């Protein structure tokens, strides 16, 4: 029995609390973006084609009879055109990450979400997947009608065709991605001779699945809920940042109309409230409500609205990029840091010595006296030839009277290879017991200016 039913007097007047259940996450409304053309759509497609040409094409390029760009994790060497990077070159990776971060800060401060709208892989693949969708199922209205229909043979055929093309493109993308880490021509042969390794197979499927899921299904949800950049970019905005805005003063009050009516006399603004700007938006927002977190800055609404303005005989630009000062302190600071790191990394790369040497003392062999009363120490020199030509190196030492490399002072190292070379060093007797600093010099034979000096200690007992 409900206890409240027995209450009398003032307690009977107390209403039971009404519990309203709220969901933590907004239920997704499916978005059917309408196709749009215009100068910004052309710019976006140019970026799509350019980035994909680079992404899909680069692993197939050859340099010095090997893959031009290959991140060979197994042998811990990165090949980028004529350069070979070793784990010791981590400083360049650090510089690259700093450059990428500051480029993003700089472009965001100047041009808002330029990266999101034109070059981010999520935008690029969503654009490609939406294009396939339009070719198979038709534009916005046709897709909305199709989704509302019960399942028929035609609907099943269209959906199956779309997903088959999406999956093929996603798998090709996964294959290309793995082709940056495993020589792509070998990968191709392995894939079609059922000889694919488990890791390669896993990463092709994983990356393919991520592409299919993110560009085919998740789309704007990735930008709205998953992308960290979308979350923190707000702090990089200032009043001068380029953003896409609706000219409220010019557009409002909005309202539909026909040409015969003098809409100014009716007090209406230029917005005909056609909704095209909302229909073309890939994130489904209405830019007329002001700048929103969901806006990826793709400018599709500008193209859409410009076409409407052309039709109603009004000037373009009711929705447009805002104008702001480009040269301002924050931008100048970002640009200066970016330029300093880029120039520093470039100069360092230009002057990079294509030879690295590490001296390792052979701990098993202690200093000993040999024939003629000389003192001998044994070392191992790790000589890394970072060029793509086999080279011979001369090993010298100085720092003590009569010190010299004994029993052969040259070593050959194949191209892009590291070799451990045992080296015996002898010095005149007569030193007091102790450790003495000495210097190894490794010099490439027949090549001007390729020489590295490394410190070591010579032990006398």
Question: Within 61-90, which residues bind ligand SF4 (CB under 6 A)?
Answer: none
Question: Does 208 help bind ligand SF4 (rule: CB under 6 A)?
Answer: no
Q: Which of 106, 158, 296, 444 binds ligand SF4 (CB under 6 A)?
A: 296
Q: Which is nearer to ligand SF4, 59 or 297 (CB)?
A: 297
Q: Which is nearer to ligand SF4, 59 or 251 (CB)?
A: 251
Question: Does 304 help bind ligand SF4 (rule: CB under 6 A)?
Answer: yes
Q: Which is nearer to ligand SF4, 281 or 355 (CB)?
A: 281
251-290 mask for ligand SF4 (x: CB under 6 A)? Answer: x--x----------------xxxxxxx--xxxx-x-xx--
Say if residue 221 is exposed, middle or buried (CB neighbours under 10 Å; 0-12, 13-18, 19+).
middle
Question: Does 300 help bind ligand SF4 (rule: CB under 6 A)?
Answer: yes
Coil, strand or helix at 63? strand
Q: Which is nearer to ligand SF4, 130 or 178 (CB)?
A: 130
Coil, strand or helix at 106? helix
Shortest reach from residue 130's CB to ligand SF4, in Å: 13
Number of residues that bind ligand SF4 (CB under 6 A): 30
Q: Which of 298, 405, 438, 442 binds ligand SF4 (CB under 6 A)?
A: 298
Q: How many CB atoms lie within 10 A of CB 234?
A: 10
Shortest reach from residue 129's CB to ligand SF4, in Å: 17
What is the bridge-based pairing of β-strands 391-398 and 434-444? Answer: antiparallel
Q: Which of 230, 301, 411, 427 binds ligand SF4 (CB under 6 A)?
A: 301
Give the CA distances from residue 229 to residues 145, 223, 318, 438, in Å, rounded to whole numbers and listed in that order.
35, 9, 28, 51
Question: Within 312-331, which residues bind ligand SF4 (CB under 6 A)?
Answer: 318-319
Q: Is 64 left (phi over 0), alpha (psi -120 to 50) or beta?
A: left
Coil, strand or helix at 180? coil
Shortest reach from residue 49's CB to ligand SF4, in Å: 19
| Window contacting ligand SF4 (CB under 6 A); options: 4-12, 293-301, 398-406, 429-437 | 293-301
The alpha helices in 324-366, defined as continuous H runs, are: 329-350
Give the CA distances from residue 343 to residues 82, 95, 109, 337, in Å, rounded to whole numbers and listed in that order.
19, 10, 21, 10
What whole-number distance in Å separates Cα of residue 126 and Cα of residue 213? 10
Give the CA distances from residue 238 to residues 51, 101, 127, 242, 432, in Å, rounded to whole numbers and listed in that order.
29, 18, 29, 9, 70
Shortest reach from residue 314's CB to ligand SF4, in Å: 9
Question: Within 96-155, which residues bind ligand SF4 (CB under 6 A)?
Answer: none
| Window contacting ligand SF4 (CB under 6 A); options: 119-127, 168-176, 294-302, 432-440 | 294-302
Shortest reach from residue 251's CB to ligand SF4, in Å: 6
In Å, how far from its chain's centre is CA 29?
Answer: 29
| Residue from 158, 187, 156, 186 nearest 171 by CA | 187
Coil, strand or helix at 223? helix
| Window contacting ligand SF4 (CB under 6 A); options: 230-238, 298-306, 374-382, 451-459 | 298-306
Interface residues toward ligand SF4, by CB under 6 A: 244, 246, 251, 254, 271-277, 280-283, 285, 287-288, 295-301, 304-305, 308, 318-319
């Amino acid at each position: 029995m409900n206890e409240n039913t027995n209450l009398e007097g003032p307690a009977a007047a107390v209403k039971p609390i009404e519990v309203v259940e709220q969901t933590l996450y907004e239920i997704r409304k499916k978005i059917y973006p309408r196709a749009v053309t215009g100068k910004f759509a052309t710019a976006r497609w140019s970026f799509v084609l350019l980035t994909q040409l680079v992404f899909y094409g680069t692993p197939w390029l050859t340099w010095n009879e090997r893959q031009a760009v290959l991140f060979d994790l197994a042998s811990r060497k990165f090949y980028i055109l004529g350069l070979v990077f070793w784990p010791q070159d981590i400083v360049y990776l650090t510089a690259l990450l700093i450059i990428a971060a500051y480029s993003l800060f700089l472009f965001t401060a100047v041009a808002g979400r330029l990266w999101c709208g034109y070059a981010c892989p999520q935008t690029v693949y969503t654009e490609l997947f939406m294009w396939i969708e339009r070719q198979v199922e038709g534009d916005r209205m046709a897709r909305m009608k199709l989704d509302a229909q019960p399942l028929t043979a035609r609907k099943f055929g269209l959906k199956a065709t779309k997903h088959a093309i999406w999956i093929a493109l996603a798998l090709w993308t996964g294959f290309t991605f793995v082709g940056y880490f495993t020589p792509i021509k070998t990968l191709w042969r392995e894939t079609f001779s059922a000889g694919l390794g488990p890791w390669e197979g896993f990463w092709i499927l994983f990356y393919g699945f991520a592409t299919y899921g993110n560009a085919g299904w998740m789309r704007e949800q990735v930008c709205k809920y998953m992308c960290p950049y979308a979350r923190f970019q707000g702090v990089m905005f200032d009043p001068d940042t380029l953003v896409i805005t609706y000219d409220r003063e010019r557009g409002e009050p909005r309202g539909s109309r026909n040409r015969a009516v003098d809409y100014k006399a009716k007090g209406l603004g230029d917005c005909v409230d056609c909704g095209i700007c909302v229909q073309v938006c890939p994130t489904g927002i209405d830019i007329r409500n002001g700048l929103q977190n969901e806006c990826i800055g793709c400018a599709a609404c500008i193209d859409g609205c410009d076409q409407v303005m052309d039709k109603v005989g009004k000037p373009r630009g009711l929705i447009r990029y805002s104008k702001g000062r480009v040269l301002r302190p924050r931008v100048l600071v970002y640009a200066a840091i970016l330029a300093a790191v880029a120039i520093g990394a470039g100069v360092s790369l230009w002057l990079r010595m294509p030879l690295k040497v590490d001296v390792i003392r052979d701990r098993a062999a202690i200093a000993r006296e040999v024939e003629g009363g000389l003192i001998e120490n044994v070392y191992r020199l790790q000589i890394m030839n970072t060029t793509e030509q086999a080279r011979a190196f001369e090993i010298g030492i100085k720092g003590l009277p009569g010190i010299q490399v004994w029993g052969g002072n040259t070593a050959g190292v194949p191209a892009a290879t590291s070799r451990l070379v045992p080296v015996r060093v002898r010095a005149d007797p007569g030193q007091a017991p102790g450790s003495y600093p000495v210097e190894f010099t490794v010099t490439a034979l027949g090549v001007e200016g390729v020489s590295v000096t490394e410190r070591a200690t010579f032990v006398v007992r």
